[in-house]
């Protein structure tokens, strides 16, 4: 039995080429189908743009009614009544404040006494400095130096280093301000230092100052503020 097909005929020959041609044809036909457009020509034309069929709306013409303005009020009668001034006005007479030389009264000069009751005069500018006990017989020009010398001796004599400050190794300088009152007593003691124990010791030393002869300004006793530093140093 002989085969019906020719052995030399190759059916797979050029199959890829045919496949590509077929695929391109199908894509072209699909693209044309998607892009295909149709237009309705029956209802489109100049009749759609005809504006003659539009009805014109008639606007009625209105007339503005003019109202006449009200008549002006009648003018007031120009009648001026003259009223007689029967009341008498008293004239105010201003007398001159100038006085004649005969009326001048001589005024005696009044001496104004300056008061120094509440005034504190600093130690550096006071006329008569407070006198420390023991400086009474010193000349007036050397009383300041005598005061400073007696003050330093009093501090050295009564000086006592606080035990707590020694144990803690505290040292420094305490500034003490006080006032020598008009009666010679010491008042208003204030301290400023590095430690409270040192401040208390400085206050104790100053509070032991003796009563002094008060300072004087123009012959009157006044209060004199004074300040001095006390140095606490460990050896």
Q: Domain limits of the chain?
A: 140-232
Which tokens sit at 112? Answer: 């104004």
Neighbours of 165 (CB within 10 A): 20
pLDDT digits over 153-181, tens only?
999 999 999 989 888 899 999 999 999 99
- The maximal CA–CA distance of the chain, rounded, in angstroms, is 186
CATH of domain 140-232: 3.30.1150
Helix (H) or strand (E) holding 228: strand 224-232
In this predicted model, which residue has the larger pLDDT, 48 or 76?
76
Distance CA 51, CA 166 (A): 120
Instruction: Please state, in angstroms and as integers, the Cα–Cα distance from residue 147 to each residue in 97, 112, 122, 128, following that order.
Output: 62, 33, 14, 12
pTM of the model: 0.49
10-50 per-position pLDDT tens digit: 666 777 888 889 889 989 999 988 888 776 665 555 444 45
Residue among 206, 199, 136, 197 nearest 178 (CA): 206
């Amino acid at each position: 039995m002989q085969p019906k097909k020719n052995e030399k005929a190759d059916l797979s020959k050029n199959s890829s080429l045919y496949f590509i041609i077929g695929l391109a044809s199908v894509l072209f036909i699909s693209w044309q189908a998607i892009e295909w457009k149709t237009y309705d020509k029956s209802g489109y034309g100049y009749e759609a743009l005809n504006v003659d069929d539009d009805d014109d709306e008639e606007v009625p013409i209105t007339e503005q009614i003019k109202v006449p303005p009200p008549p002006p009020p009648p003018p007031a009668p120009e009648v001026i009544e003259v009223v007689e001034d029967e009341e008498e006005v008293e004239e105010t007479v201003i007398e001159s404040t100038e006085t004649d030389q005969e009326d001048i009264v001589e005024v005696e000069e009044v001496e104004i006494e300056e008061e120094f009751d509440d005034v504190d005069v600093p130690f550096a500018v006071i006329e008569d400095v407070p006198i420390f006990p023991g400086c009474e017989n010193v000349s007036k020009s050397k009383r300041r130096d005598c005061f400073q010398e007696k003050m330093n001796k009093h501090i050295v004599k009564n000086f006592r280093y606080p035990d707590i400050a020694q144990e803690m190794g505290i040292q420094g300088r305490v500034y003490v301000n006080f006032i020598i009152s008009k009666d010679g007593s010491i008042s208003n003691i204030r301290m400023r230092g590095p430690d409270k124990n040192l401040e208390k010791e400085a206050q104790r030393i100053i509070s032991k100052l003796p009563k002094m002869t008060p300072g004087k300004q123009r012959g009157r006793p006044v209060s004199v503020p004074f300040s001095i530093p006390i140095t606490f140093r460990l050896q």
